[in-house]
Amino acid sequence: MNSDSTAPDPTTSEPAPSKGAGQDEEANYLLAARREKLAALEEKGMAPFAYHFERTHPSSRAAELFQEAEAQESLNEKGHGDTVRVAGRIVSWRSHGKSAFAHIEDGYGRIQLYFRLNVLGEEDFSALDLLDLGDWIGVEGPLFRTRTGEITVQATSWTMLSKSLRPLPFGKEETDPDSGERVVHSGFSDTQSRYRQRYADLAVHPEVREVFRLRSRIVRSLRDFLDARDYLEVETPILQPIYGGAAAEPFVTHHNALDTRLYLRIADELYLKRLIVGGFERVYEVGKDFRNEGIDRSHNPEFTMLEFYQAFADYEEMMDLVEEMLVTVAENAVGSRRIQYQRTEIDLSPPFQRVSFVEALNRGLGRDLHQMTDPELAVTLKELRGDDPRIDEMGRGRLLDKLFGALVEESLVAPTFVVDYPVVLSPLAKLHRDDPRVTERFELFVAGRELANAFSELNDPLDQRERFLSQMQLREAGEDETHPVDDDYIRAMEYGMPPTGGVGIGVDRLVMLLADQPSIRDVILFPTLRPEEGRQG
RNA sequence: GAGCCGGUAGCUCAGCUGGUAGAGCAACGGACUUUUAAUCCGUAGGUCCUGGGUUCGAUCCCCAGCCGGCUCACCA
């Protein structure tokens, strides 16, 4: 190439280099080529980073416009329709010497562009050499159909909107003529890079963008559903002096001015119920919870939880509400109550199956758990999970919970309410009105995963204190994930809390289900990852 | 935390029983005025994850480490 002194030196002007950016130095020849084009654009007086572009039509709208013109037979003698101004990122380029085809992509789809020397003139046409995949351009020209039938903008002029200085990892794609499916060749598939550089993942994968559009529709639909039922959306603290509402390990932080320890919330529950005490009959919150635990395909350290509480309702009523909510959201967001999750058909039509925790577990065990001693349960669990010494430390509640996880959960593919959980597992739920050994609680399972958790909320402050204390005893006996005592919460309840039904729904998991995504990381834009090497904290 | 698999060009991947590397796409130069995985000719591009070891010689074998994926454990 040339050694133009105005060309920026890529080794010194590369932004924010870090130790972890070593690969960029290796790729310098690719970055350098784009820097040179950038300099060449400037030399021609073409601003590589524009301020504005007057777009007349999004890509999809432009295509519709042409089809309308065809239907009205209003094309001119050249077969041209209206002139449009479209803008987008160049995602493919086919140069033919004195003509060139490209596709640009905008927020609404793709449209093909056609450039010809004799239309653009020598100067504008030759400047096309300075374009790269990834550049943003604006184009003006009439719509027409190519010989192969694709609606295309014939560029009479084009404008640089933003020069891409770093190649996006575009794959080549084709449409299989038989199946009509899009086949991507050698795309961008390294999982870690895709999550770490989600911007690049989104830029080259329209289907990934679609997942997050769907996520947005789902969340909006959840809100609409509750708003329509006179629920009040509220915001409660994420930084809390005492964490609670679930059995989980919290993140711990410190507030300097108050010189006090704070926890990131693990659930919204206790604050929302304080609001029920305060006199709001129906409240909900959708927000992030944080749990300092492992990461796998269904767990991210921060995740989105929807919790809603309704005065005067019990868990039966909340079950009906959850059924209606799921079917409504599915129909609003994906257009059907029958969905496919990882090749399994799932019908979300109410009513869902209902089975009691004990009944389901007995079925899994093949015997009656009430006839089994703790050591017998422990032996059974060891047979399933291997001889883990921690099993000997577990109390009965924990054992039952683990056995349920091992024997039952996976089989709950069709939507199923598991109801009436053992008291030890449910310190915030009311005792069952007919059976004091269990609580009025349900969990909803779909596709073998827990999606919702709900109870007739415990509103007896004396009972609540007892439950907290027995959790404390469990902790002293060695169980780590027990619920801490929250005196302020009890104080609130002492003022008087109406009977209340409450539900928590894991929003990420709901999105996984409806978007047919196998990993929670595929429905979180920026999932938690180990920090990149070389970054300063 | 454990097991399995992996880390080779910007991206996606080959690389045999050890002889210091290849393809496609992307890039660069050239041809081509309705293509669409455009095509054709040519060029350049590599700390084979890191550090030790074995060997005349290591991308390959051994050890340790780092990072990732999957499965399991934990948790929603």
Evaluate if residue A390 carries a pLDDT over 90: no
pLDDT at A53: 96
pTM: 0.90
Q: Where are the beta strands (DSSP E) in A342-382?
A: 344-347, 353-356
Check if residue A268 sits with its Cβ under 7 angstroms from strand B. no
pLDDT at A8: 31
Name the nucleotide nearest A267; use CA and C1': B76
Element (H, E) at A449: strand A449-456
CA A59, C1' B75: Å apart?
45
Averaged pLDDT, A390-410:
83
Q: What is the mean pLDDT of chain A?
A: 87
Check if residue A128 sits with its Cβ under 7 angstroms from strand B. no
Q: Residue A55: helix, strand or coil by DSSP?
A: coil
Report the alpha-carbon distance of residue A131 to residue A136 in Å, rounded. 9
Which pairing describes strands A109-116 and A151-154: parallel, antiparallel, or unpaired?
A: parallel
Chain centroid to CA A479: 32
How big is the CA angle at A521 (ends A227 and A309), to the nearest 5 degrees?
Answer: 25
Evaluate if residue A394 carries a pLDDT over 80: no
Report the alpha-carbon distance of residue A457 to residue A464 in Å, rounded. 10
Which pairing describes strands A449-456 and A83-95: parallel, antiparallel, or unpaired?
A: unpaired
Domain boundaries, given as residue ranges, for chain A: 3-186, 209-352+414-522
**Which tens digits make up the pLDDT trace of A469-499?**
988 888 777 776 678 889 999 999 999 999 9
Checking A105-109 for CB contacts under 8 A at 24+ apart, the result is A105/A59, A105/A206, A106/A58, A106/A59, A107/A58, A108/A58, A108/A59, A108/A60, A108/A61, A109/A58, A109/A59, A109/A60, A109/A63
Say whether domain A3-186 belongs to CATH 2.40.50.140. Answer: yes
Evaluate if residue A67 carries a pLDDT over 90: yes
Predicted confidence band at A21 (pLDDT cuts at 50, 70, 90)?
very low
| Strands lying side by side in the sheet with A260-264 | A239-240, A260-264, A251-255
DSSP label at A127?
A: G
| Strands lying side by side in the sheet with A282-290 | A232-233, A282-290, A302-311, A500-506, A449-456, A441-446, A416-419, A353-356
Which pairing describes strands A282-290 and A232-233: parallel, antiparallel, or unpaired?
A: parallel
Which alpha helices (H) appear in A144-289, and where do they start and end?
191-196, 198-204, 206-227, 269-278
Evaluate if residue A6 carries a pLDDT over 60: no
CA A29, C1' B23: Å apart?
21
Q: How many CB atoms lie within 10 A of CB A13?
A: 12
Residue A390, judged by CB atoms within 10 A of its CB (0-12, 13-18, 19+), counts as: exposed
Predicted confidence band at A367 (pLDDT cuts at 50, 70, 90)?
confident
Report the alpha-carbon distance of residue A288 to residue A304 in Å, rounded. 4
Evaluate if residue A458 carries a pLDDT over 50: yes
Residue A300, judged by CB atoms within 10 A of its CB (0-12, 13-18, 19+), counts as: buried
Q: Residue A121: helix, strand or coil by DSSP?
A: coil
Evaluate if residue A224 carries a pLDDT over 60: yes
Evaluate if residue A4 carries a pLDDT over 80: no
Report the alpha-carbon distance of residue A110 to residue A137 in Å, rounded. 13
A:316-355 Cβ neighbours of strand B under 7 Å: none
Predicted confidence band at A118 (pLDDT cuts at 50, 70, 90)?
very high
pLDDT at A182: 62
Q: Residue A509: helix, strand or coil by DSSP?
A: helix
A:452-471 Cβ neighbours of strand B under 7 Å: 453
Maximum average pLDDT range among A27-36, A317-326, A478-487:
A317-326
A:192-211 Cβ neighbours of strand B under 7 Å: 192-193, 195
Nucleotides of chain B touched by protein CB (<7 A): 1, 9-13, 24-29, 31-39, 44-47, 66-76
Evaluate if residue A14 carries a pLDDT over 50: no
**Which tens digits make up the pLDDT trace of A69-84?**
999 998 998 899 999 9
CA A335, C1' B54: Å apart?
64
A209-352+414-522 folds as BirA Bifunctional Protein; domain 2 (3.30.930)
DSSP label at A266?
A: S
CA A432, C1' B31: Å apart?
82
Check if residue A387 sits with its Cβ under 7 angstroms from strand B. no
Contact A483, A428 (CB under 8 A): yes
Report the alpha-carbon distance of residue A37 to residue A355 in Å, rounded. 67
Q: Residue A123: helix, strand or coil by DSSP?
A: helix
Averaged pLDDT, A434-454:
93
DSSP label at A439?
A: B
